[in-house]
């Protein structure tokens, strides 16, 4: 502060102003265990950040008088977590500080997922640049978003005609030119589910020719998961597109325990030269609309509904989290509601669908499958969460992996878990200078206590913030410190043209 005053007051003291250029005010993080994100073993080092970048990593750094010094003894310094699947698009407008996201160490998020994105992308980029948020953002363009435009008036419940597919492809091309990093699809959801595989191939091609990725919530996460995985492999091959399966899961009793089969199917495709990866969130329950339980879409057919409820292990495994027409159902499972109403769970299900639907949590994944997925270097960690989502993954995903699966259960080494949250997703996206702690890299950093870090959110309290993440820097500026957000909004919008052309598999 004194130097700045001197600069204004006298030309004579102008020489003093050179000093900040030589030793600019920075942040020195001392005595930290540096886990650099590459998978390399933790090492003791000091880290110096000036402006937006890491400028020095050394056994001991002498801080200059203007530096902010952070004693990080016993703490881990890691790259900020890069969330490949995040639903904060809308939430960020009301909550730009994104406490639920930065408190779990997220510094960069990919939005526009599951086939649904903002439109036009150019407007979204401009708006987010005019009103930045705490974290860096990238967006995909949604398949359902362009499909509902090309098949206007709600006339999307059918295969598209060739001219409509052409129209969608031109919209994808437009989105790519405006800054999207690729195409997302939600083939299990209402609009996307009516598409044929050739339609998706055509759109994935349009993204691929502009260097884009294809990220998919695949067509089925239940009994027909393997067919859905095969479809992604076909799309990757036919469109020549790098493909990524979002929130890989085996969601019904019929496919429980089959992670080795899913992995070998994908590994075979990868070995044949296709560029396919996946992510998996660390929860054994999903959250979606109640209708996804019934893949054949016979939502009012008692036989189909009964089969759907059996597939998740029974109606006690379906928790209603939001139901506009029946607020009294919220946070009760279908079994409890049925008993209270003196009806069958099948009847309750059909009543809910007829009255406008509900958001539900289905307790359906097996931990052994998640563990098997995490043992694969190319299956990464993403949250599928986001601001306001009523699922514990909205606030707890990354700390849950670090606390429960690394520290308590020893599923994977800390360095490997962090690699799956940092350099691996950075490489997948083609992000430059992020996802790694090294001199010259951008200072997206997380400092956490490896003995304390843990998720605290539950299905009853999905918004409860995680603990143990002490400090989060985005582009060199603190956004989370000592249990609260700062007022800073240093996040950047990163568009497709800013990414490296050569992505790693
Ligand atoms: Zn999804």
Q: pLDDT tens digit string along 153-162? A: 999 999 999 9
Name beta bridge partners: 334.
Answer: none
**227 and 302 in a common domain:** no
Give distance in angstroms: CA of 51 to centre of ligand 1: 36
The answer to whether the peptide bond before residue 120 is cis (omega within 30 degrees of 0) is yes
pLDDT-derived band at 458 (thresholds 50, 70, 90) equals confident
- 64 part of a folded domain: no
Residue 324 structural domain:
289-363
Give distance in angstroms: CA of 246 to centre of ligand 1: 6
Of 6-15, 188-197, 215-224, the one with minimum mean pLDDT is 6-15
Give distance in angstroms: CA of 116 to centre of ligand 1: 10
Distance separating alpha carbons of residues 71 and 94, to the nearest angstrom: 34
Distance separating alpha carbons of residues 198 and 212, to the nearest angstrom: 18
Q: What is the pLDDT of residues 315-339, one digit of tens each?
A: 999 999 889 999 999 999 999 999 9
Q: What is the pLDDT of residues 241-259, one digit of tens each?
A: 999 999 999 988 899 999 9
pLDDT for the residue 14: 42
Tell me what the mean pLDDT of segment 346-354 comes to. 97
**324 and 267 in a common domain:** no
pLDDT for the residue 363: 74
Per the CB < 8 A criterion, the answer to whether 197 and 228 are in contact is no
Beta-sheet strand order (sheet of 106-111):
81-83, 106-111, 136-139
- 34 part of a folded domain: no
- 144 part of a folded domain: yes
Residues of the chain with pLDDT > 70, as a percent, come to 94
- 16 part of a folded domain: no
Extract the tokens encoding 196: 């044929």
Give distance in angstroms: CA of 403 to centre of ligand 1: 24
Q: What is the pLDDT of residues 70-104, one digit of tens each?
A: 999 999 999 999 999 999 999 999 999 999 999 99
| Packing angle of the helix pair 345-354, 334-341 (nearest 10 deg) | 100
Q: Which of 363, 385, 406 is the last residue of a domain?
A: 363
pLDDT-derived band at 29 (thresholds 50, 70, 90) equals very high
> Which letter does DSSP use for residue 80 in this model?
P
pLDDT for the residue 501: 61
Average pLDDT, the chain: 93
- 59 part of a folded domain: no
CATH at residue 317: 3.30.1490.130
- The SS3 assignment for 162 reads helix
pLDDT for the residue 311: 87
Backbone angles phi, psi at 360, to 5 degrees: -135, 160
Per the CB < 8 A criterion, the answer to whether 292 and 189 are in contact is yes
* pTM (predicted TM-score): 0.89
**295 and 279 in a common domain:** no
The number of folded domains in the chain is: 2
Cα–Cα nearest to 473, from 196, 198, 102, 183: 102
Q: Which of 309, 334, 363 is the last residue of a domain?
A: 363
- 337 part of a folded domain: yes
Extract the tokens encoding 407: 């520290």
Name beta bridge partners: 58.
Answer: 46
**Residue 316 vs residues 297, 304, 404: alpha-carbon distances, Å:** 21, 17, 25
**369 and 320 in a common domain:** no
Extract the tokens encoding 305: 């509904």
Give distance in angstroms: CA of 138 to centre of ligand 1: 17
Give distance in angstroms: CA of 367 to centre of ligand 1: 19
Tell me what the mean pLDDT of segment 142-158 comes to. 96
- 23 part of a folded domain: no
Contacts of 206 (CB under 8 A, 6+ apart): 169, 170, 172, 173, 176, 183
**230 and 129 in a common domain:** yes
**406 and 319 in a common domain:** no
Q: What is the pLDDT of residues 259-311, one digit of tens each?
A: 999 999 999 999 999 999 999 999 998 878 999 889 889 999 999 999 999 98
Cα–Cα nearest to 442, from 23, 86, 108: 108
Distance separating alpha carbons of residues 447 and 70, to the nearest angstrom: 10
Ion ligand 1 residue ranges (Cβ < 5 Å): 114, 217
pLDDT-derived band at 504 (thresholds 50, 70, 90) equals very low
DSSP symbols for 433-501: S-SS--TTSB--EEEE-TTT-B----SSSTTPPPB-EEEEEETTEEEEETTEE-S-----B--GGGS-S
- 439 part of a folded domain: yes
Give distance in angstroms: CA of 187 to centre of ligand 1: 9
Give distance in angstroms: CA of 289 to centre of ligand 1: 11
**Residue 48 vs residues 43, 108, 327, 374: alpha-carbon distances, Å:** 15, 21, 52, 32
> Which letter does DSSP use for residue 381 in this model?
E
């Amino acid at each position: 502060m004194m130097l700045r005053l001197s600069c204004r007051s006298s030309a004579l003291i102008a020489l003093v102003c050179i000093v900040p250029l030589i030793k600019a005010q920075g942040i020195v993080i001392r005595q930290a265990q540096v886990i650099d994100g590459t998978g390399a073993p933790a090492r003791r080092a000091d880290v110096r950040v000036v402006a937006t970048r890491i400028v020095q990593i050394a056994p001991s750094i002498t801080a200059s008088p203007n530096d902010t010094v952070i004693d990080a003894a016993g703490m881990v310094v890691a790259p900020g977590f890069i969330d490949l699947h995040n639903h904060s698009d809308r939430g960020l407008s009301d909550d730009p500080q994104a406490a639920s996201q930065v408190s779990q160490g997220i510094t960069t998020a990919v939005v526009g997922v599951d086939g649904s994105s903002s439109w036009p992308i150019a407007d979204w980029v401009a708006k987010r640049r005019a009103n930045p948020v705490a974290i860096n953002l990238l967006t995909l363009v949604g398949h359902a978003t362009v499909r509902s435009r090309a098949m206007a008036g709600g006339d999307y419940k059918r295969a598209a005609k060739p001219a409509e597919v052409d129209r969608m492809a031109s919209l994808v091309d437009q989105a790519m030119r405006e800054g999207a990093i690729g195409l997302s699809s939600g083939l299990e959801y209402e609009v996307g589910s009516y598409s044929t595989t050739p339609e998706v191939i055509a759109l994935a091609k349009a993204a691929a020719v502009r260097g884009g990725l294809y990220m998919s919530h695949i067509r089925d996460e239940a009994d027909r998961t393997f067919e859905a995985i095969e479809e992604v492999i076909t799309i990757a091959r036919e469109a020549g597109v790098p493909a990524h399966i979002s929130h890989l899961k085996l969601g019904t009793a019929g496919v429980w325990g089959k992670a080795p089969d899913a992995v070998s199917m994908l590994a075979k495709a990868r070995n044949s030269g296709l560029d396919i990866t996946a992510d998996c969130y660390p929860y054994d329950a999903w959250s979606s609309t109640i209708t996804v339980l019934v893949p054949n879409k016979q939502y009012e057919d008692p036989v189909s509904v009964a089969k759907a409820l059996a597939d998740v292990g029974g109606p006690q495994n379906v928790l209603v989290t939001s139901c506009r027409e029946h607020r009294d159902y919220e946070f009760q499972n279908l079994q409890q509601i049925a008993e209270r109403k003196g009806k069958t769970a099948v009847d309750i299900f059909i009543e809910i669908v007829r009255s406008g639907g509900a958001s539900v949590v289905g307790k359906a994944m097996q931990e052994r499958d998640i563990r098997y997925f995490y043992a694969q270097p190319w299956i990464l960690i993403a949250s599928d969460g986001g601001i306001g989502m009523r699922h514990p993954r909205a606030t707890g995903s990354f700390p849950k992996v670090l606390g429960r699966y690394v520290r308590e259960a020893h599923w994977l080494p800390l360095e490997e878990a962090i690699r799956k949250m940092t350099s691996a997703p950075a490489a997948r996206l083609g992000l430059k200078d992020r996802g790694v702690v090294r001199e010259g890299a951008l200072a997206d950093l997380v400092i956490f206590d490896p003995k304390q870090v843990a998720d605290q959110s539950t299905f009853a309290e999905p918004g409860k913030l995680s603990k143990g993440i002490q400090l989060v820097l985005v582009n060199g500026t603190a956004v989370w410190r000592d249990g609260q957000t700062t007022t800073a909004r240093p996040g950047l919008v990163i568009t497709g043209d800013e990414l490296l052309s050569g992505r790693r598999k």
